Amino acid sequence: MKFLKFILFPFSILYGLLLFMRNKLYDWRFFSSTEFKIPTISVGNLCVGGTGKTPHIEYLIRLMSPELKAAALSRGYGRKTKGFVLADLKSTAADIGDEPLQFANKFKNIPVAVDANRVRGVKKIMSLFPSVQTILLDDAFQHRSIKPGLSIVLTDFSKLYLNDFVMPTGTLREFSSGIKRADIIIVTKCPKVLLPIERKRLINEIRPLPYQNIYFSYIKYGEFLPLHSETINPFSKEYYFERHYSVVLLTGIANTQPLEYYLKDKVKTIIPVKFPDHHAYTKNDLEEVKKNFDNIASSNKIIVTTEKDAMRLKDPQFSDILSHLPLFYMPIEIDFYDTNKNEFNEQILHYVRTNQKYSSLHSK
User: pLDDT tens digits, residue range 56-114?
Assistant: 999 999 999 989 999 999 999 999 999 999 999 999 999 999 999 999 999 999 999 99
R_g (Cα) of the chain, nearest Å: 21
The model's pLDDT over 230-266, given as tens digits with 9 standing for 90+, comes to: 666 778 999 999 999 999 999 999 899 999 999 999 9
Q: Give φ, ψ of 29 to 5 degrees.
A: 70, 25
With a threshold of 0.85, does the pTM exceed it?
A: yes
Q: Which residue from 48, 47, 36, 46 is spatially nearest to 73, judged by alpha carbons?
A: 36
Q: Give φ, ψ of 3 to 5 degrees.
A: -65, -40
Q: Supply the angle between the helices 53-64 and 338-354 in degrees, to the nearest 10.
A: 70
What domains can be seen in the chain, in order of their start residue? 2-219+335-360 (3.40.50.300), 223-330 (3.40.50)
Q: What angle do CA 176, 49, 160 make, to 5 degrees?
A: 40
The model's pLDDT over 269-323, given as tens digits with 9 standing for 90+, comes to: 999 999 999 999 999 999 999 999 999 999 999 999 999 999 999 999 999 999 8
